[in-house]
Each structure stands twice: as C-alpha cells, then as structure tokens.
Amino acid sequence: FYDSCLPLNTGVFKDGASVVDVGCGGGFPSIPLKIAMPSLKFVMMDSTGKKTDFVKMAVSELELSDVTVINIRAEEAGHRPDLREQFDISVARAVAPLNVLMEYCVPFLKQGGYFVALKSRTAEEEMKEASNAAGMLYVSKEDIKTYTLPGTDNIRNIIVYKKNKATDKRFPRKTGKPSKNPL
C-alpha cells in the first residue's frame, strides 16, 4: 500500500532521512508520513502554540519516536545553527504561496536535500511566480506529481525541488518580510 502512496513515491523519502515540516498545523503530512515510514526523523514546527500543543499530544498518543515539535516561526528557526541546513527533506502544506514557502523551507536543507511542497490546482501558476525565488535560493524543480483526492474531483500537486548550493545567510528574511515582499 505505502509504495503507491503520495508523497512517498516521489523518490526522496529514504529510510532514516531527516525531515522538517514547516508550518505543521495539525500534523499533516508529517504524522501520516511517520506512521508509513517509522525510520524517518522529524522536526515539526509551527508558530501557533495551540497547534504545536495538539501535535505534541498526537505524537505522544501515537507513541511516535524520533519526532521533535517546536513552537517557532520559520524566519527565526531558519537562522538557528541546530536547524539551518541540517535536513534531508523539508515539507510544507498550505502555509503560503510557493515563492514565500521556498524562503521559509529551503534554509533548513542540506545541499542536495529536497523541498517537497503540497499544493492545490494552482501549482503551475505558483511555480512560474516562484522562478525568481528558486534562482535566489539555489533550488531546481525535480518533479511534479498531480493526483486527484480519492472520492472527489479535487486536484492536488506535489512539487519537488532539489537544493543545489548553500543558502545565502540573508535568507530567510525577518518576520513578515517574505510574505509582504516575496522573492
């Protein structure tokens, strides 16, 4: 079953990989990914304390290991030496437009790591708008997978970018800057 599950079949989720979920909300996609691939190591972060409190409770109830939940903004966390350029994979869903999301997520990745964005039917449009951000953050599009949510006509996309070079130290910019003035 899991071999055909999205986003697992993107080819980037390898046993033992370290994953950061930026804007984890209620724990999706991290909690299902962790259940499907217990060897993954997660840091889940969100700027809203109520959300991280819920995720901590869910992680505890599900007895998931190798999961850390942090209440912090991505703009701050992206400059912390213990988090910056430490992860194999960065995932995010429904946090912001792709050009903003890149600035939040890419600084966490090691060179050669993957940024996996879960987006709706506007993915192609968002990728065009994010081309400048991709260049400034040294990522290149590796793949896009389009699928329909089972039992609906809702289209979803999983976009995979690969980090090719270390992120410039000025990124992510200070809180509020990425969303007010996207790259």
pLDDT in tens, the chain (183 residues): 344 455 566 679 999 999 999 999 999 999 999 999 999 999 999 999 999 999 999 999 999 999 999 999 999 999 999 999 999 999 999 789 999 999 999 999 999 999 999 998 889 999 999 999 999 999 999 999 888 888 889 888 999 999 999 999 999 999 999 999 999
134-138 long-range contacts (CB < 8 A, ≥24 apart) are 134/102, 134/161, 136/168, 136/171, 136/183, 137/102, 137/103, 137/106, 137/107, 137/163, 137/167, 137/168, 137/171, 137/183, 138/106, 138/163, 138/164, 138/165, 138/166, 138/167
DSSP reduced 3-state for 134: helix
Question: How confident is the model at residue 9, as a pLDDT?
Answer: 64
- Cα(64)–Cα(57) distance, rounded to whole angstroms? 11
pTM of the model: 0.93
Question: How confident is the model at residue 80, as a pLDDT?
Answer: 98
